[in-house]
Amino acid sequence: MADVFICYARKDRNFALKLRDGLTDHKREVRIDLTDIPPTAEWRKEIYSHIEAVDNFIFIISADSCASTVCKDEVAYAEAYHKRLIPVVFRLVSHKELPPAICAHSMGSLH
């Protein structure tokens, strides 16, 4: 089983890649969607299979990821499959902007 899936907004891609590189440097197996494919049924199926295959789900927090319907859907899917949700703050947002499952896992106020 892979170690982690990284969920991020496209605008946060460079940060997501740095995080992936850091994790792989520490011998972690990382799954991340690096394509700009429109959210078709086949694309979603592939993403969901990646989420199912990991133990941990990292959600990169930014205003863009919190506003993304795709990111929110991925969080909900990870929660439904009882994945360990790991919020990583890239850009500060208020708690009310976070997807509910991520809000429950974040400590203190983000903004």
Q: Give the global pTM.
A: 0.88
Domains annotated on the chain, with CATH: 2-103 (3.40.50.10140)
Q: What's the Cα-to-Cα distance from 41 to each of 38, 55, 70, 82, rounded to whole Å?
A: 9, 24, 12, 22
Give the ranges where the chain is alpha helix by DSSP (H): 13-25, 41-52, 63-67, 69-80, 100-103
pLDDT of residue 111: 47
pLDDT, one tens digit per residue, over 32-87 is 988 655 566 688 888 999 999 999 999 999 999 999 999 999 999 999 999 999 99
